[in-house]
Amino acid sequence: MLTGAAAAFVAARDVGVLATADATGMPTGVPVCYAWDGTDLWIALDTKPKRDADPLRLRRVQNILARPQVTLVVQDYLADAWAQLAHVIVHGTARLVPPGTPDHAAAVALLRAKYPQYQAMPLDARPAIAIRPDHVTTWGAVAARAARPATLPATITGRRSVRRFSDRPVPRDLVEHILEAARWAPSPHGRQPWRFAVLTQPATKARLAAAMGDEWRATLAQDGEPATAVAQRLAASQSRIRTAPTIILPCLYLADLDQYPDPDRQAAEMTMAIQSLGAAIQNMLLTAYHVGLDMGWMCAPLFCQSVVQAALALPEAWLPHALLPLGYAAADPKRRPRRPLADLVRWDD
């Protein structure tokens, strides 16, 4: 049956390949949108352009009428993260359900909720395919992938800042995959004004935490914070650094940028570089989430750049701008709400 992680994986994907065969056994495969109602998989005979406008003359429908045994393959392919490959193969019995039945109406509602484009299509007036799973085969990282969306919009809205990690280590190839995403960020003049230090060794993380802690203690004391509050904030921040399985430290690197005689243009050049560093960081945050990892963002290095440089023996031209702890979330943190678009956007009409 289709249950557990396999069901969650299938429900969270948008496209599968439906295999059917005709009476002679001649197979055919076709990509399909589908919805899972907990009992059946539903496929609309929609009005996307097709060779034959009459849904009953479609090859897949003719095949199902002749031979109801079908297979639906749903898969995730991550080109640079093969440890995350996953697929579910559902073998089942298909039937054609005419419009006008309660089952059909409920399925159309499900399909429309999953695919907004279906709201404008007359699915209520057309038959639909229902597949009752007979048996299910799963392969690869189905459980891990079930918790992650397959599409870019869902990855963007699903990502969140993670502040506590389990001690499960992060495979090096995944860290490299995340850094590779940074490399493709836009940058002023294409100069890529960023460099990345990667911290995986407990001793390095401890050294960094201690050095930053000393600096922060002095700053907080200057601000007049009570000693107990200072100690608490320091302990929390140091623990975040020490317990993160991996840390990526994005640095601004200005040496390759244009030089201007006037300070205004030079400042704009610098701002562009910082904007670009933000784009590189966002590429990494999204990629980490996409491949099943989680990331946070700590701005602390900005406030003690030379201390971080000294603790990590970084070149002087590498200006630390953030700390990105990377690992597997210890708990699923809450997603912060967002302002509505109307608060953020002004159109010219």
Ligand X SMILES: Cc1cc2nc3c(=O)[nH]c(=O)nc-3n(C[C@H](O)[C@H](O)[C@H](O)COP(=O)(O)O)c2cc1C
Q: Which positions touch ligand X (CB under 6 A)?
A: 160-161, 163, 297-300, 336
DSSP letter for each residue of 58-114: SHHHHHHHH--EEEEEEEE--TT-GGG-EEEEEEEEEEEE-TTSHHHHHHHHHHHHH
The answer for residues whose C-beta is within 8 angstroms of residue 297's C-beta and 6 or more apart is 161, 281, 285, 322, 323, 324
> Residue 182 Cβ, how far from ligand X at the closest point, in Å?
15
Q: Which is nearer to ligand X, 1 or 152 (CB)?
A: 152
Alpha carbons 12 and 145: distance in angstroms, whole number:
9
> Residue 19 Cβ, how far from ligand X at the closest point, in Å?
40
The answer for residues whose C-beta is within 8 angstroms of residue 213's C-beta and 6 or more apart is 234, 237, 238
> Residue 106 Cβ, how far from ligand X at the closest point, in Å?
34
Q: Which is nearer to ligand X, 190 or 337 (CB)?
A: 337
> Residue 251 Cβ, how far from ligand X at the closest point, in Å?
14
Q: Which is nearer to ligand X, 336 or 346 (CB)?
A: 336
> Residue 216 Cβ, how far from ligand X at the closest point, in Å?
12
Q: Which is nearer to ligand X, 44 or 162 (CB)?
A: 162
* Residue 241 tokens, joined: 């650094």
* Residue 71 tokens, joined: 């297979």
Alpha carbons 232 and 137: distance in angstroms, whole number:
50
* Residue 63 tokens, joined: 């095949």
Q: Which is nearer to ligand X, 41 or 300 (CB)?
A: 300
Q: Which is nearer to ligand X, 93 or 161 (CB)?
A: 161
> Residue 339 Cβ, how far from ligand X at the closest point, in Å?
12
Contact 272, 279 (CB under 8 A): no
